[in-house]
Each structure stands twice: as structure tokens, then as C-alpha cells.
């Protein structure tokens, strides 16, 4: 399939088209669950999906985008079951962003086994904000974490905002949604991983623990924190010290501080530091 042949497709111009209506349903969690599909918006995410060879169902793009990104259009088309040239009006109607950059695809949801966590992992309980979740995915991938576990009552892992905030790292980090996060954390503990629970009133700061050993960092809901059950599984409880005038940190910032402290200890150890 070449850019030339694709450009000779008939352009889809009606926002009442059945395909357009079905894609718009993917804006909601219910629609993604019912269709078992999710949205990839923009050239950056599509490029990341193509590099990962992630299967696609439908790719929609404006003619201007195809002319500017012919190689991406062809690569995405080779991974997709269907391609559609669409008008700018149609693209805007299926996008979740205000100014889409010309290309959107739908991709099938795939069931993923829990990632193999052996050196450094992160487990998230009831994370509600998709922007925070996407930022954590991006940071965990950048910090060379083995993978991420997410409780099933969190924001959808394939929410459009999660994908955008991950900046393509979504396709690089092994991840899985768990219906029983406590059981997954217990398995990590039984395999010899140190379990660290982030708790506001913990006696230890995150830099006072040995993060050179295999470690699972467990973070909780933005408002209520971790459940008592997960705290009870922890080998140690840690905190991030804050000024008295500040109540809490964004959970994505908290995860970044701890993940990069682990990298600092592992890559640039202080020789006389004692835990």
C-alpha cells in the first residue's frame, strides 16, 4: 500500500458517517470497553505505535497530513485493517484534543500479563487523574523501571490523556491492570523484592532507604493515599518531606523523585553512605 494509492481514496466528509460515530464513542470508558478499542491521536503517538509494531484497526488522516507525513501514513496503513482520508471537520469531530495535528488511529485493546518485575517496579492504587498516570508511565520508562502495575479501579490505562501524557513511552514500558493489586504486590514480595509504601507520616524519607536492592514502589490515590492493606504489605514506609505550608505533592512528581533516587543510588553511589 503506497501513499499514492491511499491518496486516491474517497475522502470521508460527513460527521454523521457510522465510522465517525463509532470512533467518537471511544472518547468514553464505556465505548472503549464495549468496542475493545482505544484512540491514538497525533503523529508522535502514531510514530511510537509504528515503531512498536502495535496493531491498528483504522487510521484516519487529512490529505494535508498525508502529504506532509507520507511515510508515517504508509507505515500506519500497513499495520491497519482500514485507512480513511477525512476532512478537517471530521478529524476534529473524532479527536479529543482541540487542535488535532491531522491523524488519528484506533487500536485494539490487548490483554497483557503482569510485567516481570525483578529490579525496579512501580505499583499504583486508584490513580484517578489520567494526566498523572500518563506522566508516571513516561517517568517510569525514562528511569528504566521494569514495569508498572495498576489497580483496576484507576483511570483507564488507554485513556486518551494517559497516552498523550506518556509521550510515546506507553509503548515502551511493560504494564498491566490488576484486579487484585494486593496479590500482585504479595507475589513481588515473595520473589524477594523490597516493598516500599509511600505514606505522609512515615519516619523515613525516600533517600534514607536502600534502593539498590530489588524494589517495588507503591503509590496511592491522589487524595486518600494507599489502602491499609497495601501499607500492611510494605517492608518499609517512606515519605517525601514537605514544607509545612504544602499539604501534598502531585503523585507523578512523587513517583519521579523516588524512581530517580533509585537511579542515583544505583548509578552514582556514595561510597560511605550507610542505610
Q: How many CB atoms lie within 10 A of CB 112?
A: 12
What is the distance between the alpha carbons of residues 229 and 220, in angstroms, rounded to a whole number?
A: 12
Concatenated DSSP letters of 30-50:
HHHHHHTEEEEESHHHHHHHH
Is the pTM value of this prediction over 0.95? no
In sequence order, the 6+-apart residues with CB closer than 8 A to the CB of 253 are: none
The β-bridge relationship of strands 37-41 and 80-85 is: unpaired
Task: Give how far the C-alpha of residue 267 lies from the chain's centroid of Cα atoms, to the nearest Å.
Answer: 25
What pLDDT score does 197 carry? 97
What pLDDT score does 113 carry? 84
Please list the ranges in the chain whose pLDDT falls under 50. 1-5, 272, 274
In sequence order, the 6+-apart residues with CB closer than 8 A to the CB of 163 are: 38, 39, 40, 41, 45, 134, 170
Domains of the chain, first to last: 3-108 (3.30.1330.30), 120-267 (3.40.1280.10)
Q: What is the DSSP letter of 221?
A: B
What pLDDT score does 37 carry? 98
Amino acid at each position: 500500500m503506497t501513499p499514492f494509492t491511499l491518496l486516491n481514496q474517497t475522502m470521508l466528509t460527513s460527521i454523521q458517517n457510522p465510522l465517525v460515530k463509532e470512533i467518537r464513542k471511544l472518547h468514553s470508558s464505556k465505548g472503549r470497553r464495549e468496542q475493545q478499542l482505544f484512540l491514538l491521536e497525533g503523529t508522535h503517538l502514531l510514530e511510537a505505535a509504528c515503531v512498536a509494531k502495535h496493531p491498528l484497526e483504522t487510521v484516519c488522516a487529512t490529505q494535508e497530513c498525508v502529504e506532509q507525513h507520507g511515510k508515517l501514513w504508509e507505515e500506519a496503513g500497513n499495520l491497519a485493517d482500514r485507512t480513511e482520508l477525512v476532512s478537517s471537520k471530521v478529524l476534529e469531530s473524532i479527536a479529543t484534543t482541540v487542535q488535532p495535528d491531522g491523524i488519528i488511529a484506533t487500536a485494539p485493546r490487548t490483554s497483557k500479563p503482569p510485567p516481570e518485575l525483578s529490579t525496579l517496579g512501580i505499583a499504583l492504587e486508584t490513580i484517578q487523574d489520567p494526566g498523572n498516570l500518563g506522566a508516571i508511565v513516561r517517568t517510569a520508562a525514562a528511569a528504566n523501571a521494569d514495569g508498572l502495575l495498576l489497580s483496576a479501579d484507576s483511570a483507564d490505562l488507554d485513556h486518551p490523556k494517559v497516552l498523550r501524557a506518556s509521550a510515546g513511552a506507553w509503548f515502551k514500558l511493560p504494564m498491566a491492570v490488576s484486579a487484585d493489586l494486593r496479590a500482585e504486590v504479595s507475589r513481588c514480595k515473595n520473589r524477594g523484592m523490597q516493598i516500599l509504601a509511600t505514606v505522609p507520616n512515615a519516619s523515613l524519607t525516600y533517600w534514607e532507604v536502600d534502593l539498590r536492592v530489588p524494589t517495588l514502589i507503591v503509590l496511592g490515590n491522589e487524595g486518600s493515599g494507599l489502602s491499609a492493606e497495601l501499607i500492611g504489605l510494605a517492608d518499609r514506609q517512606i515519605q517525601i518531606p514537605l514544607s509545612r505550608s504544602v499539604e501534598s505533592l502531585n503523585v507523578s512528581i512523587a513517583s519521579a523523585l523516588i524512581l530517580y533516587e533509585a537511579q542515583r543510588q544505583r548509578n552514582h553511589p556514595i561510597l560511605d553512605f550507610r542505610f
